[in-house]
Amino acid sequence: MTLTPNRSLIDVDRDHLIHPVTSFRGHEARGATLLQSGKGMWLTDMDGKELLDAFAGLWCVNVGYGQESIVEAAAEQMRRLPYATGYFHFGSEPTVRLAEKLVDLSPQGLDHVYFTLGGSDAVDSAIRYIVHYHNAIGRPDKKQFIALERGYHGSSTTGSGLTALANFHRNFDLPRPWQHHIPSPYPYRSDLSDDAAIIARSVQQLKDKVAELGADNVAAFFCEPIQGSGGVIVPPTGWLRAMRDACTELDILFVVDEVITGFGRTGPLFACEEEGVSPDLMTLAKGLTSGYVPMGAVLLSDKVYQGIADGAAPELAIGHGMTYSGHPVSAAVGLEVLRLYTDGGILANGRSVARRFDAGMKAIAQHPMVGDTRGRGLLGAIELVADKATKERFDPALKIPDRLFARGYRNGVIFRSFPDNIIGLAPALCASDGEMDEIFARIHRTLDDLLEEADIRAAIG
């Protein structure tokens, strides 16, 4: 095939580039929206249109776009040493320093770090290490995994079966027989109104599932502290601690997936901190490098690490590796991003601007299309309903999510538009109060615009 330099990039994209989690035919019909540059909270598209990014890319650019010190850190590391393998006992300074920093900053007991390229392979690595661990300690029957409905744990061959979203299972022959799910603690759609009762029910559902599978057969329970891709489902405070305690009691490993919630997204550096929870394994990505370069990690407790170490003969390798594990450029970026969060004041700014975020959420809850607003820190959702009293959802035939996203874009704001008519919000932590107010003003205008459309107005109860 000959390359045609003058062909529209959108046509070339349509012909050759496969986009993540899209309908192939749907994308061909719609075409791509190409972005050109970013600065702080703002993106500029190929047509020069400026947009406020209320989703930090894909809930990852927590420090905002255009942080020069990160660019410098990457360039400096590329000049000095662009690659160092972690194989054959090699390593490099930034990777070792970043591992030390993560152990220092993460919940107590997570003493060992394996670096990946993103979140999916962090989850995949966690599953592999857990399987290895149980074989190594002489409990080979412990192979069943439990996660939450509406959970997202990436799209690796194994992790996507712990994910519980229909698109990730359909035609992929998932979940596997060893992958199980219990209901999501979804307060807005629960028949229980009491937080303690919601927590108690989740604990009971986990115990029931473990009893059904046999405690001696269950390896681990995976969860997100706040379910992101499932629609930003915020469990009651105390839920994470209760699930940790239940896993200890049940003698199964507790794995917390902080790929979204990590690095200040909910206020503290890790959501686990808020409830004093220390998991057996923790997965990280996104905010680790703030999306500037790819990197993820799985942190292992000393118990899991030592179990694997003691179970293998010293001359045998633990056969898990990736060419780019602990990539020095990603690690150099990670170190600078961590500096910006802490010494650079970005975590503190995020906590401060979260008050404006909260106020914006409270105000928008009054809109006739809004059934629920929920969130923690700078992670939130606005759930739209046809009827506030009954919580009835809009008819899917109205195609609200596509119309919502398009209207928002026209109004100069980007947010996540989930299939259940849920708006997902995860603005960068560097936002000013004024920018946060402007995000909500634009979302408000977007909802007003939708409400002016006859079919949507007619659908409101």
Binding site for ligand PLP (CB under 6 A): 118-120, 123, 152-154, 224, 228-229, 257, 259-260, 285, 296
Q: How far is the CB of 205 from ligand PLP (least distance, A)?
A: 20
Q: How far is the CB of 224 from ligand PLP (least distance, A)?
A: 5
CB nearer to ligand PLP: pick between 145 and 440 = 145
Ramachandran category for residue 256: left, alpha or beta (phi over 0 → left; psi -120 to 50 → alpha): beta
Minimum distance of ligand PLP from residue 174's CB (angstroms): 15
Gap between the Cα atoms of 287 and 296, Å rounded: 9
Q: How far is the CB of 116 from ligand PLP (least distance, A)?
A: 9
- First-to-last CA distance in the chain? 55
Q: Which is nearer to ligand PLP, 41 or 127 (CB)?
A: 127
Answer for the pair 120, 154: CB distance below 8 angstroms, yes or no: yes
Nearer to ligand PLP, 257 or 435 (CB): 257
Q: Which residues, including other chains, have CB under 8 Å from residue 268's CB and lie 6 or more apart?
A: 274
Dihedral angle computed from the Cα positions of residues 144, 148, 149 and 150, in that order, rounded to the nearest 10 degrees: -130
- Tell me how far, at minimum, the Cβ of 294 lies from ligand PLP, in Å: 8
- Which of residues 376 and 442 has its CB atom nearest to ligand PLP in the complex? 376
User: What is the sign, positive or negative, of the torsion defined by CA atoms of 20, 23, 27, 30?
Assistant: negative
* Shortest Cβ 256–ligand PLP spacing (Å): 10
Please identify, using beta-carbon distances, which residue of 153 and 356 lies nearer to ligand PLP.
153
The least CB distance from residue 261 to ligand PLP, in Å, is 8
DSSP per residue, 49-93? -EEEETTHHHHT-TT-B--HHHHHHHHHHHHH-S---SGGG---H
378 in Cβ contact with 354 (< 8 Å):
yes
The answer for residues whose C-beta is within 8 angstroms of residue 183's C-beta and 6 or more apart is 148, 149, 202, 205
* Token representation of residue 225: 């502290």
Q: What span, in angstroms and rounded, lies between the C-alpha atoms of 192 and 290?
A: 37
Nearer to ligand PLP, 102 or 447 (CB): 102
Contact (CB, 8 A) for 386 and 66: no
Residue 62: Cβ within 10 Å count: 29
Question: For ligand PLP, which is the closer residue by CB, 153 or 407?
Answer: 153
Name which of 337 and 364 has its Cβ closer to ligand PLP. Answer: 337
Min dist. Cβ of residue 337 to ligand PLP (A): 15
Closest CB to ligand PLP among residues 295, 436: 295
H helices present in 117-178, as ranges: 119-136, 159-162, 166-169
CA angle 459, 227, 160 (to 5 degrees): 105
Least distance (Å) from ligand PLP to the CB of residue 156? 8
Both tokens of residue 196? 């303690």
Shortest approach of ligand PLP to residue 92 CB, angstroms?
22
| Closer to ligand PLP by Cβ: residue 94 or 154 | 154
The residue number with the shortest CB distance to ligand PLP is 119
Closest to 442 measured CA to CA, from 155, 52, 31, 49: 52
